[in-house]
């Protein structure tokens, strides 16, 4: 009975704390709660002879909470001192940091930060689909383009062939984002992603060439920020490829810290077309600019300054974006960098004291100093399209091609895919490819609804390009010697070598993981933190204090509720959480709710511990970023499973992806708490989150075996994973691979009959002998003999590697 009373005490107190913190308890409810606690205390003392002070302790706490419910008194004695302290420890935020923070929107990431995600909201999101026009473009020009591309030819010539450049221009591949009113295709984000993904599965160089004009650059900036005159002039020229654009942002002294660029434009008077006009004298030194060697229109970011006060009293006007024709005197353009593993056009551009008129600024003179905001707003959506599509293409292609090769390649008289050592990387490839595509599709669904999810786009870029690196490494291991010999028969080497390019550009993954995902996500997605920061920045002291008081006690209630929820879900293994779906995935919804609560609680605890110095705790920030990333990707996996109609045959992929994500989240939480500056407190927090020990173990070997089997067989799950890839029907490297895979499946029955009859497995060295003996003894028919022969001949071609003269030039 004493235990029951103690539990009643705790329940009443927690109810009061949470209700007061959220300002939902009127005075009458508080008085009733106080009376209840007092009664409980007195009853416990009288009945069980407990010390009176213990039984009255809840009453004392209730009195304190009652004091805190008197808002004017609380604000003066509690919130005001904390307000002053908070403003003192809050790190200063530069204009560029603020603009990056304010870019885009929040979406499902805010639900994950809440600790209690509303799964119904996620499941109601419409699955993105292609229009008839978009599908026709993919079935027509895109597949035709892929059929024209020869990977080895591109690599040998270090450029796309002229006919490919001509085809891209003719069919307006560079105008997918430009409205039809200006001559563009005006495709959706989903179509943009699908087109880039299909081309990427055939040739990375062509994919990058297509995706750059349709990503962050002149076209995107003009549509959102250009003047009507600029749109009317440039957008039709970009749509028809009369102009080829590039955008120059990165400088030798400003890479990841792009906002610290030294490139400068000085406001001055200058001569333009025979007249003296107001403009800027711009000096820049940029590098790593894709399409720069062939560009006719240069988009340029620089810092505008007005030392002579021609525009007013402000000297540093901020980062500004301008459009400069490449033919402008003083513009240096045309030299090349050679990106590793790729042949797409990339190079430096420079200029010294190049005069440009004011109307060359994107948006005109009124947009001076708004360049960084423009870039961040555009990147918030654009980063979720191109590079994630390229990464997903790598993941899906690695899954399909590695599964086919592991089926065809035999050692010790059996396909290598049936060895457990190969099953393990095959499972990683399949599970990761499924999860990557799920994340891609969910984020595109958000874009189709008009969202610009800046945090989620950062997650997608970092996780999907890292995922591509993981799966291509596993694919190389599976292919062994086949993967390390250069030549037209090697379909892995280009992707293997070029993967670091995707990892580096549009925000290097190390920076994105350690500083952007959680650093930006914590402020944008947290229900109270941004309100507290805005209150601290409010110049009106009284209004700021009032706002801070509301946010502070809302924040306190948020922390307490997540702490209680995390503990209750931990002690109950989240069994009583209501899942929106019944069936085999229901438990995963429950576990993600549990991890969301744990994440929200630990994130607040870490931020409170480090305060302003958290900005420099990049290892901890990176671990928190991984938790948020896998909460999102795991959500996407569940959504994809529902969107696909809950196919039972896909459950091994779902199980693998979910169990892997849950294990990664658990590992990161343990890593955070192990490195917490106060070890004892870290252990207590771990006890709150994992009161019964660590619950997740990662995918089991049996699960991995099932995933590997899906990649080794011709089945609906494999077909769904293959959707969106270009599958060659030619006698090239990947075409022969797919032909050999199909032939191997057809030859299963006669090969088994030969093995059973002669106690010898069919191989590339003995197939003719076994066919002859099988025909002689009527073990197989002539048609079956041809199936076996075709399968083995194709297998020989697939496992073959290229040979060159002894004096051949290294590639």
Output DSSP code: residue 614.
G
Output DSSP code: residue 296.
S
Query: Do 16 and 25 touch, CB atoms closer than 8 A?
Result: yes
- Sorted by sequence, the CB contacts under 8 Å of residue 507 that are 6+ apart come out as 256, 383, 458, 461, 462, 516
Q: How many contiguous H segments (helices) and E segments (strands) does the chain have? A: 36, 9
Query: Do 398 and 510 touch, CB atoms closer than 8 A?
Result: no
Q: Annotated catalytic sites, by residue? A: 506
Distance of CA 214 to the CA centre of its chain: 18
Identify the three-state secondary structure at position 321: strand
Query: Which residues, in sequence order, are bridge partners of residue 304?
Result: 265, 318
- Kindly tell me the burial class for residue 766, based on how many C-beta atoms sit within 10 Å of its own C-beta (0-12, 13-18, 19 or more): middle
Query: Do 530 and 455 touch, CB atoms closer than 8 A?
Result: no
Distance CA 140, CA 138 (A): 5
Distance CA 212, CA 217 (A): 7
Distance CA 499, CA 749 (A): 40
Length reported for the chain? 811
Q: Angle 713-716-719 (CA atoms, 0-180°, nearest 5)?
A: 80
Q: Which whole-number Å values give the CA distances from 478 to 474, 475, 799, in the listed order?
A: 6, 5, 12
Distance CA 209, CA 342 (A): 11
Distance CA 145, CA 148 (A): 5
Rg, C-alpha atoms of the chain: 31
Q: Tokens at residue 331, please?
A: 């513009």
**Gap between the terminal Cα atoms of the chain:** 80
- Kindly tell me the burial class for residue 509, based on how many C-beta atoms sit within 10 Å of its own C-beta (0-12, 13-18, 19 or more): buried
Query: Do 717 and 430 touch, CB atoms closer than 8 A?
Result: no
Query: Do 334 and 251 touch, CB atoms closer than 8 A?
Result: no
Distance CA 386, CA 397 (A): 16
Q: Angle 189-194-195 (CA atoms, 0-180°, nearest 5)?
A: 100
Q: Which whole-number Å values give the CA distances from 83 to 92, 373, 398, 551, 760, in the listed order?
A: 16, 29, 54, 11, 81
Q: Angle 543-544-549 (CA atoms, 0-180°, nearest 5)?
A: 100
Distance of CA 657 to the CA centre of its chain: 15
Q: Tokens at residue 214, please?
A: 């349709």
- Sorted by sequence, the CB contacts under 8 Å of residue 454 that are 6+ apart come out as 103, 104, 105, 376, 379, 380, 520, 524
Q: Which whole-number Å values give the CA distances from 475 to 387, 424, 569, in the listed order?
A: 20, 11, 39
Query: Do 525 and 637 touch, CB atoms closer than 8 A?
Result: no
Distance CA 352, CA 807 (A): 45
- The residue written with tokens 């994130």 in the block is 603
Distance CA 6, CA 110 (A): 36
């Amino acid at each position: 009975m004493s235990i029951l009373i103690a539990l009643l005490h705790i329940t009443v107190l927690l109810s009061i704390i949470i209700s007061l913190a959220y300002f939902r308890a009127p005075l009458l409810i508080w008085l009733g709660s106080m009376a209840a606690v007092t009664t409980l205390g007195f009853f416990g003392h009288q009945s069980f002879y407990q010390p009176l002070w213990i039984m009255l302790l809840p009453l004392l706490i209730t009195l304190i909470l009652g004091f805190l419910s008197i808002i004017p008194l609380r604000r003066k004695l509690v919130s005001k001192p904390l307000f002053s302290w908070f403003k003192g420890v809050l790190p200063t935020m530069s204009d560029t940091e603020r603009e990056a923070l304010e870019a885009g929107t929040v979406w499902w990431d805010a639900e994950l930060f809440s600790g209690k995600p509303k799964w119904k909201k996620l499941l109601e999101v419409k699955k993105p689909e292609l229009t008839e026009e978009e599908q026709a473009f993919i079935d027509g020009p895109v597949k035709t383009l892929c059929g024209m591309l020869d990977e080895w030819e591109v690599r040998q010539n270090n450029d796309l062939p002229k006919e490919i450049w001509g085809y891209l221009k003719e069919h307006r591949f560079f105008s997918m984002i430009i409205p039809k009113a200006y001559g563009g295709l005006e495709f959706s984000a989903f179509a943009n992603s699908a087109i880039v993904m299909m081309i990427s599965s055939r040739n990375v160089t062509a994919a990058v060439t297509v995706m750059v004009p349709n990503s962050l650059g002149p076209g995107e900036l003009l549509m959102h920020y250009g003047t009507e005159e600029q749109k009317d002039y440039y957008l039709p020229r970009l749509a028809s490829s009369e102009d080829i654009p590039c955008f120059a942002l990165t400088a030798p002294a400003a890479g990841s810290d792009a906002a610290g660029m030294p490139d400068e434009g000085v406001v001055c008077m200058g001569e333009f077309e025979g007249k003296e006009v107001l403009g800027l004298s711009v000096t820049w030194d940029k590098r790593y600019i894709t399409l720069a060697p062939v560009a006719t229109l240069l988009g340029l970011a620089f810092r505008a300054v007005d030392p002579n006060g021609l525009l007013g009293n402000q000297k540093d006007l901020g980062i500004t974006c301008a459009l400069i024709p490449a033919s402008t005197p003083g513009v240096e353009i045309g030299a090349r960098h050679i990106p590793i593993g790729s042949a797409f056009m990339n190079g430096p551009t420079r200029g010294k004291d190049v005069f440009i008129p004011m109307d060359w600024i994107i948006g005109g003179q009124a947009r001076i100093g708004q360049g960084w905001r423009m870039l961040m707003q555009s990147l918030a959506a654009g980063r979720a399209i191109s590079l994630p599509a390229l990464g997903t293409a790598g993941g899906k292609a690695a899954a399909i091609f590695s599964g086919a090769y592991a089926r065809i390649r035999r050692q010790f008289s059996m396909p290598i895919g049936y060895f457990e050592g190969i099953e393990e990387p095959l499972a990683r490839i399949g599970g990761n490819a499924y999860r990557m595509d799920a994340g891609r599709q969910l984020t595109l669904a958000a874009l189709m609804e008009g969202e610009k999810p800046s945090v989620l786009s950062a997650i997608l870029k970092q996780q999907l390009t890292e995922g591509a690196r993981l799966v291509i490494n596993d694919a190389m291991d599976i292919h062994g010697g086949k993967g390390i010999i250069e030549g037209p028969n090697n379909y892995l080497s280009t992707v293997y070598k070029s993967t670091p390019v995707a990892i580096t550009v549009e925000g290097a993954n190390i920076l994105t993981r350690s500083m952007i995902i959680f650093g930006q996500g914590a402020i944008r997605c947290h229900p109270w933190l941004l309100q507290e920061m805005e209150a601290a920045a409010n110049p009106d002291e009284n209004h700021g204090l009032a706002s801070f008081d509301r946010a502070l006690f809302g924040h306190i209630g948020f922390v307490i509720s997540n702490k209680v929820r995390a503990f209750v879900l931990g002690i109950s293994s989240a069994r009583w959480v209501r899942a929106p779906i019944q069936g085999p995935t229901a438990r995963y919804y429950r576990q993600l709710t549990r991890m969301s609560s744990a994440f929200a609680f630990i994130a607040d605890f870490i931020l409170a511990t480090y305060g302003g110095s958290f900005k420099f705790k990049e290892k901890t920030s990176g671990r928190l970023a991984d938790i948020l990333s896998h909460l999102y990707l795991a959500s996407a996996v569940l959504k994809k499973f529902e969107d696909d109609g809950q196919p039972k045959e896909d459950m091994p992929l779902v199980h693998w992806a979910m169990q892997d994500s849950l294990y990664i989240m658990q590992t990161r939480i343990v890593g955070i708490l192990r490195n917490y500056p106060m070890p004892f407190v870290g252990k207590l927090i771990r006890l709150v989150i994992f009161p019964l020990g660590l619950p997740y173990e990662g995918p089991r070997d049996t699960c991995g075996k099932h995933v590997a089997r899906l990649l080794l067989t011709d089945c609906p799950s494999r077909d769904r994973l293959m959707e969106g890839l270009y599958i060659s029907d030619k006698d090239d490297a990947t075409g022969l691979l797919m032909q050999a895979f199909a032939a191997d499946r057809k030859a299963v029955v006669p090969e088994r009959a030969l093995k059973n009859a002669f106690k010898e497995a069919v191989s590339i060295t003995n197939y003719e002998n076994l066919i002859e003996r099988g025909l002689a003894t009527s073990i197989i028919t002539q048609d079956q003999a041809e199936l076996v022969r075709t399968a083995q001949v194709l297998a020989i071609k697939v496992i073959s590697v290229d040979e060159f003269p002894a004096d051949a030039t290294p590639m």
